[in-house]
Chain A
């Protein structure tokens, strides 16, 4: 059995091991965690021939540098416009490359994007928590946050030379500065003109952005009447309005419940693109019907499935 070992030489603060996520336990206060850009997660794995499920490394604008201290292994990077180098040689942004014993791999933020996924041709050794290694950063449950001097052990490491090279870039991989939402479920807490203002404001992502979510600025959203709502389920993608009036968009490490009203919930099809915006970039929202949101989910899934199937079959021969 071949093994590869990475020694983390430098890890940005939001570098974690993630798998697809931990589903079905929000009723116990346990959220999904999982990748921020879920399509990027699936893409990085498909580039190595895998179906979704295995663990990979997610990093953000802080980037990542690691040295392969044992074994040779092929890796794939997808998500955001990051740059992958091996021993200083640029391999590309969305790409497959092989790192050999002694070589140094670096991921740096490029011109755009906030999150990227590094998949490996092999099995990352990580202890699951409740059946999943997905890291919930606030509690550390899951495989955990990666820090300088940590080692990542990969069993069944493989070199897949036929897969090396650049990946075709899907249009859906871009950041989305126009995000579709379904209004509610607490529309009763907002005056009609407040909802209009929410839909007509060019918001800006603040620097308060981590795996739990991001705060937007641009217009204070006023809550009508007393804030007396009992806590209730807070799904991923919710646009929650706390007392300060700046919208909070809840993302992978969101709390499972919250007592602030949700003016809207972003549709699943637009969440990956939203995550790839950076602080200081703008975003606006438009409302669609619940049925149109389902149509959007289905058409996005169809296009992505075709793209991932092509990636899995792809060789550079």
Chain B
């Protein structure tokens, strides 16, 4: 049944590799996206990858559904998931109490100490499974099993940017201050959204992320630097 190709209005083709969140499906998405971005085609506007699908955007004045479908089929036939080496990025994390409003409750709910929650978070190697929702929001998949929790029942307002937030098997380092129902266990001074650069986000689809613990002094120094 998969991959499944579905036309979207007058300007897109949705290429679905599955119907659930799964590392194998997600790696196919990342590979298709990478090949598409490298190849391009006349009228190509953008590739929007997500957990299990890629939206191939096109300009209907230049190309059409039939041509884009043929190109997508060619990419699918030749792509080699897992062959390309993944870029790896280090994200800095400070877990001090005032930056980690949900650390104690997470520890309680998972039956661990706060230090064990931190150690578990630091032990993960995460993959950028999707970006979306808000500018630079990268959904990092790979949170170790023992500290997985469903999200809160209601979102909390004004979660500051830089918050390291957890839910299910995922982790996000937020880039804008927004409401969120995820568990906040620390804060990062690493600039992920950097609009003056190209690309504007530190990570790309499929990249690997690891976290490195920093102390409060380093966090404060870097935060001051970033703000100036």
Asked if A182 contacts B201 (CB within 8 A), the reply is no
Contact A232/B53 with A28-B201, A256-B48, A294-B60 known, Cβ cut-off 8 Å? yes
Asked if B131 contacts A27 (CB within 8 A), the reply is yes
A255 contacts B by Cβ under 8 Å: yes
Given A29-B138, A182-B7, A235-B55; 18 other pairs, CB 8 A cutoff: A26-B132, A27-B47, A28-B200, A30-B136, A141-B195, A230-B20, A230-B50, A231-B51, A232-B50, A232-B53, A233-B50, A255-B133, A256-B131, A256-B132, A290-B9, A293-B60, A297-B11, A301-B61
Shortest Cβ distance from A30 into B: residue: B135
Task: Give A27 Cβ to nearest chain B Cβ, in Å.
Answer: 5
Which segment of A62-70, A94-102, A265-273 sits at the interface?
A: A265-273
Shortest Cβ distance from B49 into A: residue: A27
B162 contacts A by Cβ under 8 Å: no
Interface size on A, residues (CB 8 A): 42
Asked if A266 contacts B46 (CB within 8 A), the reply is no
B145 contacts A by Cβ under 8 Å: no
Q: Give the bracket for the number of chain B residues in contact with chain A.
A: 35 or more
Asked if B14 contacts A185 (CB within 8 A), the reply is yes
Asked if A130 contacts B133 (CB within 8 A), the reply is no
Task: Give A229 Cβ to nearest chain B Cβ, in Å.
Answer: 7
Give 1 or 0 for each of A168-209: 1 = CB within 8 Å of chain B CB: 000000000000011011000000000000000000000000
Contacts of B66 in A (CB 8 A): 291
Give 1 or 0 for each of A294-312: 1 = CB within 8 Å of chain B CB: 1011100100000000000
Asked if B65 contacts A290 (CB within 8 A), the reply is yes
Asked if A24 contacts B9 (CB within 8 A), the reply is no
A103 contacts B by Cβ under 8 Å: no
Asked if A141 contacts B135 (CB within 8 A), the reply is yes
Contacts of B138 in A (CB 8 A): 29
Complex Cα distance A256/B138, Å? Answer: 12
Shortest Cβ distance from B6 into A: residue: A185
Task: Give B164 Cβ to nearest chain A Cβ, in Å.
Answer: 17
Give 1 or 0 for each of A219-243: 1 = CB within 8 Å of chain B CB: 0000000001111111101000000
Most central of B49, B52, B134 by chain A CB within 10 Å: B134
